[in-house]
Amino acid sequence: MKNHKQLERWSPLLLLVAIVILWQIITSAFNVSEFIFPSPLRIWEQTLEYKAVIAGHAWRTFWVTMAGFGIAIVVGVLLGFLIGSSRLAYAAVYPLMTAFNALPKAAFVPILVVWFGIGIGPAILTAFLISFFPITVNIATGLATLEPELEDVLRVLGAKRWDVLIKVGLPRSMPYFFGSLKVAITLAFVGTTVSEMTAANEGIGYLLISAGSAMQMGLAFSGLLVVGAMAMAMYELFSFIEKHTTGWAHRGSQSA
Same structural domain for residues 15 and 123?
no
Same structural domain for residues 118 and 27?
no
Q: What is the DSSP string of 79-105?
A: HHHHHHT-HHHHHHHHHHHHHHHTS-G
Same structural domain for residues 14 and 64?
no
Q: What is the DSSP letter of 180?
A: H
Going from the C-alpha of 6 to that of each of 2, 22, 107, 250, the distances in angstroms are 6, 24, 44, 18
pLDDT in 10s for each residue of the chain, 256 residues: 666 677 777 788 889 899 999 999 998 888 888 888 889 998 999 899 999 999 999 999 999 999 999 999 999 999 988 888 777 887 888 888 888 888 888 888 888 888 888 888 899 999 999 999 999 988 888 777 666 656 665 666 666 666 666 666 677 778 888 889 999 999 999 999 999 998 888 999 999 999 988 888 889 999 999 999 999 999 999 988 888 887 655 555 444 4
Angle in degrees, CA 247, 249, 253, rounded to 5:
85
Evaluate whether 126 touches 69 at the Cβ level (below 8 Å): no
Give the predicted TM-score (pTM) of the model.
0.84
Same structural domain for residues 43 and 26?
no
Same structural domain for residues 123 and 23?
no
Same structural domain for residues 26 and 125?
no
How many domains would you assign to the chain?
Answer: 2
Same structural domain for residues 166 and 123?
yes
- DSSP alpha helices (H): ranges in the chain? 2-29, 40-49, 51-84, 87-101, 108-116, 120-144, 148-156, 161-164, 170-199, 204-213, 217-245, 251-255
Same structural domain for residues 21 and 141?
no
Domain of residue 6 covers: 1-31
Same structural domain for residues 67 and 19?
no
CATH number at residue 114: 1.10.3720.10
Evaluate whether 142 touches 84 at the Cβ level (below 8 Å): yes
Same structural domain for residues 47 and 157?
yes
Same structural domain for residues 90 and 16?
no
Same structural domain for residues 153 and 217?
yes
